[in-house]
Structure 1
Amino acid sequence: MRAIPSRRLSRPRAPLPDRGPLSMSISLRSLATLVLALAGGGVAAAPVLQHYQHEQVLGTSLRMSVAGVGPAEAEAAHAAALAEIGRLEAVFSTWREDSELSRLNRAGAPLPVSPELRRLLALCEHWREASDGAFSCRLGGPLQAWREAAATGVLPDRVQLRRQARALAQLQPEPASVLPAPSPGLLQWQVDGVAKGHILDLALQRARDAAPQASGIALDIGGDAVYWGGPEAGQGWRVGVADPLAPADNAAPRATLQLRSLAIASSGHRSRGFKVGRRQYSHLLDPMEGWPLAYPPSATVVAPDAATADALATALSVMPIRDGLAWVEQLPGVEALVVSDRGVSFASSGWHRLLSVETGAAAAAWPRPLRIDYEIPTHDAARYRAPYLALWIARPDGSPVRQLLVLGDRSRYLQELPQWWRLYGRDDESAVHGIARPTRLPGHYSVTWDGLDDQGRPCPPGEYRIELEAAREHGGRQRLSLAVHALDGQARHLPRAGDEIGALYAHRGDDAP
C-alpha cells in the first residue's frame, strides 16, 4: 500500500449500499476461495488474505485487507467498517450540507452537539493546544475565502484574513468545556486535519468486533491508513511512503515501511492547493495569518492511532522542521519523516527502525559511516563572534549530495556563506530551519555521513568532496574542500590553513588519525 494523502471529507454522494456476505465487492481471490470450498464438498479452504476496494469513500478511495479468517468473517469486518464510515461521515463532513457539522457551522445560534461530534471537536482543541496553535480546526472561514478566491481569481483581503485568524486563535473555552464558546459568523469548524484519522480508528474497531478471529486488518482511505496485526503471523504490513516531489501514481516510494498495529498519515502533498489567477498557493494556512504557507514541507507520521498520525502530519507541515521533530521525540510511539520543499529529508531518531528489510539493506550499503572531524579555532579578539558554518558532501563536479551541518539560523548571516547559500540556502528556507543549529564556541567537533543523499537514497561508492565553509561577524570567510573515497577506509586530512576553520579530518573509526 502506498501512502498518498487525500485530506478532505467527501462531497455529497449516494449512501453506501447494504452489502451482504456475498457482495460483488468481494475480490476475485475471495470468490475463488468460496468456489473451491463448495467444490470440496463443504470443506472450508484455509483462510487467505481478503481484499476490498471502493471509490468515493470520504471523497477518495478505500482499500481494506483482512487476514486470518474466511470470506464470510472477512466480509462481516468489511461491512462493519463501511457502515461505521458512512455513519460518521453523516456527522463530520463539511461537504455534505445535511451533516451535523455543516448544520452547526451554519447555525446563527448555539446548537446541541452529539457525543460523537463533541469528541471530535475536543480532539481538535487538544491538538491545537499541544501544537501551540500550529494545528487548528478553527480555520473554516479563511479556507472558504480561499476557495472563493480560486473560483473568482481574486485574492482575499490579507489584512481582513489576518484579523479573522487572530480572532479565532483568541477564542477561549467555555467554563467546564474544552470547546470555545459558539461564535456565529466567526467560528467555522474545518476538521479534515484529524477527522479521517478518527474515522479510521473507529472503523477499525468495528471491523475487529465483527471478525474477532482476524489476525490482521489494514484500512486505507486516501493514503492515510491504520494497520492492525499483520498479513501473516509475525509479519508487518508493507507500506510505501509516497515521494512528495514525485506525484505520479506509479512513482517509486520514497521509503518502504513494515508496520504492525500502527497508523500512518501524510500532509503537505503538492497535488493540493488553491490556484488564484496564474499562481498556485498551498492548502496549508498559517493559523495566525489565514494566508497559505510559502514552501511548506511535507510530513509523514507513524503513530499508535490514526487520529494522532493525522493531526501530527498536519502540524509538522506547518511548524518549523526542527521544532516539529523535537516535539515528535517527546511523543511515545511516534516517528516522522519531514521532507522540505527542495526534497531534503529529516527523520526522527526511530524512523529507521520502521524501514522494511529491503530499504534497510539499501540504506546500510556503507558498513560504517564516514566520520568528519572539524575545528573552530580560538581567537584572541575582544569582539569575537562564533562563526556561521556549513558542511556538506558534494560530487567532484561540485554538485551537492548531502547537507550535514549548518551552524547559525539567521538567513541574513547565512548568506555570507556564498557557495552553500547558492546550493541550498536561498531556495530552501524550510531546510535551513530544519537542520540549522546555534553557532558554537571554539573547539573540536564531529559529524558523520551515513552514505545517503539528501533524498535518503544510498550513494554509490566513488569519489566525493567534503565542503566546509565558514564566515564570522567582525572576521573573515574561509572555505575548505577535502577529497574522500566513499569506501576505501583511508583517512584524509587537511591541516589548519586559515583563521576561521581549523584542521579537517575524514576517517572511519572512533579515533582521529
Structure 2
Amino acid sequence: MDDLDLPELPPFAEGRYHPLLGTDVRIQVWADDQATAQAAEQAALAEMVRLQDIFSIFEPTSELSRWRRGEIQHASEDLLAALREARQWFVEGDGTFHPASRPLQERWRRAASEGVLPDRAEMQGMADRLQELPWRKDPLTGSEEQVGDCSSADLNAFVKGWIVDRAVEVAINPPHEAERVGVNAGGDLRHHGSGTWRVGVEDPLHPSDNRANRLCMVGLSNAAMATSGFARRGFRVGERWFGHVIDPRTGWPVQHLAQVSIVTPDAGSADALATICGVLAIEESLALIEGREGCECLLVDATGGQHPSSGWATLTLDELGNVGASRGAGEGYTRGW
C-alpha cells in the first residue's frame, strides 16, 4: 500500500509498523499537532492489542479460547458483538461464510502433510455436520449461547477487519480526533479522512513483490478493502495445489477463482464479503456486491480473467492518480491472520 496523496494534509503525521494479528500492521495518523498524532497512533495500537488478546485462537488464555472451552458464562461486549456479527454473516452468506469450519482446514492440512487427497465423500460428510452454527441468539437475554461443540469457533474470516475498524474509530473519535487515519493489517485496510490511499491489487497468477506485477491500483477514500488471494496460501497435496479457501458446503477448496478484492465502507464487511465471494459462483458474487450500497469488487478467475462490478472502474487509478486506469503500482495482498 502506498502513502496517501498529500494535498492539504495536516502538518504532523505518525506512522509505524507493528507485529500484530499474525502480520505487520501499519498505522498512519495525520493531525494538526505532533502530540495528537502520536497519541492517536498509540491509542489505535493499544486497541488492536487489546482486541487481539480477546480473539486469538492461538493463545489458550484469550477470551475466545476460554469461551470455546465453555469456561465463560458471561462474555464481554466485544466478544458478544463479534459472535453476533459472525452469526449474521453465516446467515447472509447462506453457509458460504462459516465461523466454525476449522475442522475442514485441519483435514486439508493433514492431507498436505500425508500427500494424499481426502475422499470427496468424507469431506462432504464433514461439511454436512457443519450445517448449523454451534451457537445462537438467546431469545431471553439476547446474548450468544452455545448449543453445540464450539471448540472450533474461529472468527478470523472477518475479525481482523473488524479490529481494523475499531482501531480507526479510536483514533478519529474523542479525545484524539485525528483528521486522517489509515490502518493496513496484512491486506485488510481502511482509510478515513480526505485524500486518497493508493492500494495495488496483485496479479494472482504472477505473484511477486515486483510492483510491475499488479492488475490495477485502487484509490481508497473513506473506505475499506480486503483481498483474498489463493496463489500464496493453500495446500499442496502431492503434485496438486489447492487454494486456502474451502467451500463449507462441500468441504472442498474453491478452484474457479484465483483472487477476490472487495471495497466497502468498513473493513469487517470487506473481510467477510471477500470470504463469501471467494466461495460463490462469479455471477452470484457480482449480484451480491451490486445489491450492497457502497460496495465494489474485482474477481479474478482461475485463468486470469477479470470480472469487475459495475462501479469498479471508478476506483482504479493510473500512476498519476487519474481515475479509470487498468494497471498501476502499489502494495498487494499479504498473508492474513
TM over 0.5: yes
Amino acid at match of 1:160: E
Q: Could you say which residue in structure 1 is the equivalent of 2:57?
A: 94
Give the TM-score, by structure 1 length: 0.57
| Cα distance in 2 between the residues matched to 1:188 and 1:288 | 16
| Cα distance in 2 between the residues matched to 1:111 and 1:153 | 42
Counterparts of 1:154-173 in structure 2 under 5 Å?
154-171=116-133, 173=136
Counterparts of 1:126-275 in structure 2 under 5 Å?
126-171=88-133, 173=136, 175-176=138-139, 181-184=146-149, 188-209=152-173, 212-230=176-194, 235-252=195-212, 253-275=214-236
Amino acid at match of 1:251: R
| Cα distance in 1 between the residues matched to 2:94 and 2:145 | 16
**Cα–Cα, structure 1 residues 219 and 174, in superposed 2: closer, same or farther, change >3 Å?**
closer
Give the conservation status (yes or no) of the 8 Å contact 2:172–2:179: no
Q: Shift of the alpha carbon at 1:306?
A: 0.5
Query: Does 2:29 match 1:63?
Result: no
Q: Could you say which residue in structure 1 is the equivalent of 2:35?
A: 72
Counterparts of 1:350-369 in structure 2 under 5 Å?
350-356=311-317, 358=319, 363=324
Q: Shift of the alpha carbon at 1:363?
A: 4.8
Q: Could you say which residue in structure 2 is the equivalent of 1:345?
A: 306
Q: Shift of the alpha carbon at 1:352?
A: 1.4
Q: Shift of the alpha carbon at 1:351?
A: 1.2
1:323 is paired with a residue whose SS is helix
Gaps of 5+ in 1: 4-45, 365-455, 459-513
Give the conservation status (yes or no) of the 8 Å contact 2:104–2:251: yes
Larger radius of gyration: 1
Q: Could you say which residue in structure 2 is the equivalent of 1:304?
A: 265
Q: Shift of the alpha carbon at 1:150?
A: 3.0
Q: Shift of the alpha carbon at 1:187?
A: 5.7
Give the conservation status (yes or no) of the 8 Å contact 1:76–1:211: no
| Cα distance in 1 between the residues matched to 2:161 and 2:230 | 17
Give the conservation status (yes or no) of the 8 Å contact 1:273–1:281: yes
For the aligned residue pairs, the C-alpha RMSD in angstroms reads 2.7
Give the conservation status (yes or no) of the 8 Å contact 1:171–1:181: no
Q: Shift of the alpha carbon at 1:218?
A: 0.5
Higher relative contact order (CA 8 A, sep 6+): 2
Q: Note the alpha carbon deviations across 1:171-207, whole angstroms, 9 max, x for none.
A: 47355158574322x7611211101010001111112
Q: Shift of the alpha carbon at 1:72?
A: 1.8
Question: Identity percentage over the alignment?
Answer: 36
Q: Shift of the alpha carbon at 1:278?
A: 3.2
Aligned residue pairs: how many? 318
Give the TM-score, by structure 2 length: 0.85
Amino acid at match of 2:25: L
Q: Note the alpha carbon deviations across 1:441-480, whole angstroms, 9 max, x for none.
A: xxxxxxxxxxxxxxx569xxxxxxxxxxxxxxxxxxxxxx
**Cα–Cα, structure 1 residues 78 and 175, in superposed 2: closer, same or farther, change >3 Å?**
closer
Give the conservation status (yes or no) of the 8 Å contact 1:286–1:293: yes
**Cα–Cα, structure 1 residues 178 and 145, in superposed 2: closer, same or farther, change >3 Å?**
farther
Give the conservation status (yes or no) of the 8 Å contact 2:12–2:37: no
Gaps of 5+ in 2: 4-9, 329-337
Give the conservation status (yes or no) of the 8 Å contact 1:198–1:306: yes
Q: Shift of the alpha carbon at 1:75?
A: 1.3
Amino acid at match of 1:90: D
Q: Shift of the alpha carbon at 1:301?
A: 0.7
| Cα distance in 2 between the residues matched to 1:149 and 1:263 | 35
| Cα distance in 1 between the residues matched to 2:77 and 2:119 | 37
Counterparts of 1:95-110 in structure 2 under 5 Å?
95-107=58-70
| Cα distance in 1 between the residues matched to 2:112 and 2:169 | 39
| Cα distance in 2 between the residues matched to 1:139 and 1:106 | 16
